[in-house]
């Protein structure tokens, strides 16, 4: 039942914003690795490359909110948590099969779910 509630229009908009951000993120990640940068630096730059788009998208489209310092700080805390989750998956994937991309892709459903729930009920929640 909880899963059905998450499959609403707001969640679909959230996922669309996440997909666009992920495309930017992965493009930067792969380009930097191709050029010769380390996988950790590449993952970091890629992750934060989609951050501005992601915040603006979710602020205006997904949750129809107004920006504030508190919202930005909370959003950044969610981003840091998701960043650490992503890095863990990347490091595990790289150590096992020497692939950064596999770890990145495997982490996406986890950080999408985590991000949506925290954004909906904490970051952009107008009651808090």
Q: Flag whether pLDDT at 2 surpasses 90.
A: no
Could you list the beta-strand ranges (E) of 18-69: none
DSSP state letters, 25-87:
HHHHHHHHHHHT--HHHHHHHHHHHTHHHHHHHIIIIIS-----HHHHHHHHHHHHHHHHHHH
pLDDT per position as a tens digit, 11-46: 889 999 988 988 998 999 999 999 999 999 999 899
Question: Which band of pLDDT confidence, cut at 50, 70 and 90, is reported for residue 1?
Answer: low
pLDDT of residue 68: 93
pLDDT per position as a tens digit, 105-121: 999 889 989 999 999 99
SS3 65: coil
pLDDT of residue 36: 96
Domain boundaries, the chain: 2-123
In the block, tokens 């892709």 appear at 105
User: For residue 59, what are its two tokens?
Assistant: 């602020």
Q: Flag whether pLDDT at 4 surpasses 70.
A: no
Among residues 52, 51, 48, 28, the alpha carbon closest in space to that of 100 is found at: 28
DSSP 8-state secondary structure symbol assigned to residue 7: S
pTM score: 0.73
């Amino acid at each position: 039942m909880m899963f059905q509630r998450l499959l609403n229009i707001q969640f679909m908009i959230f996922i669309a914003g996440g997909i666009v951000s992920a495309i930017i993120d992965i493009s930067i990640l792969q380009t930097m690795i191709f050029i010769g940068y380390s996988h950790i630096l590449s993952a970091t730059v890629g992750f934060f490359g989609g951050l501005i788009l992601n915040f603006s998208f979710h602020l205006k489209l997904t949750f129809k909110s107004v920006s504030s310092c508190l919202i930005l700080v909370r959003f950044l805390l969610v981003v840091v948590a998701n960043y650490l989750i992503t890095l863990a998956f990347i490091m595990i994937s790289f150590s096992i099969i020497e692939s950064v991309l596999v770890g990145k892709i495997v982490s996406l459903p986890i950080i999408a779910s985590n991000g949506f729930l925290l954004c909906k009920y904490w970051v952009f929640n107008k009651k808090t």
